[in-house]
Amino acid sequence: DSLPELVESTAACTSYLNDRFGDVDPLPEAKIVVHDREQSGYSRKTLIALSKISGRDKSRLMQFICHELAHYWSMRGAANTVENWLNETFADYVALMAVREHMGQDVFESFLARYRQQLDEAGDLPPIWTPENQERGPYLVQYRKGPLALATLEERLGRDLFAQFVHRYMTEEIATTPALLEALEDVAGADARAQFEMDLAQTGPKEK
């Protein structure tokens, strides 16, 4: 009974992502497999395997699909280093932006509120990125703290300028945080870069 929602979410995500990031390298046709394995879903580029969709919240289903499809572009950081935050944080936040586009600001804010609650419950966490740190961060840093840092940046820059910055990341094969910060400075100026670098270096559960 959830298959129509799955098809709808996949079509909406594909359209959203291609409209914004497919001008040079559009997303090819995605394939989704639904199976009865006990483990959670996974993806391999444009192949997405789902274990359970019946009764799944529509917004979370859409966010998951959009996140996995966004990895078509957001995949260049070295996965076994601190730079994996780029891969996961941008895929996650772009997916939240797609949810906001199709389901509204309130649904988007509910995701951010849940992320903040999870970080509050987790306690102290390492920074997202610092020049000295080369270790891959834990799940909550990459999938929760990172997206909240991007939400703060979007609020600071405004949606239009932030969209230009995200487009640079998604389409210019940026693979390191220093290169990302250079792109941000090009788009929004030195002050925006300095503030965001401070955000990335913060310890603790979340932005205050």
Average pLDDT value over all residues in the chain: 90
Taking only the tens place, the pLDDT of each residue in 196-208 is 999 999 986 544 4
Separation of alpha carbons 77 and 15, rounded Å:
25
CA quadruple 79, 90, 141, 143: dihedral, nearest 10: -100
Name the pTM for this structure: 0.91
pLDDT tier at 102 (50, 70, 90 boundaries)?
Answer: very high
Name the pairing type of β-strands 47-50 and 31-34: parallel
Sign of CA dihedral 196, 145, 57, 4: positive
Separation of alpha carbons 70 and 196, rounded Å:
22
* Number of Cβ atoms within 10 Å of the Cβ of 187: 19
Helices within 137-207 (DSSP H only): 139-140, 146-157, 159-171, 177-188, 190-201
Separation of alpha carbons 158 and 150, rounded Å:
11
What does the pLDDT read at residue 4?
79
Distances (CA, A) of 156 to 76, 153, 175, 184: 26, 5, 24, 12
DSSP type of residue 33: E
What does the pLDDT read at residue 188?
98
> Which residues are registered as beta bridge partners of 47?
31, 44
Taking only the tens place, the pLDDT of each residue in 45-86 is 667 777 665 556 899 989 989 998 999 999 999 999 999 999
Residue range 90-100: mean pLDDT, rounded: 98
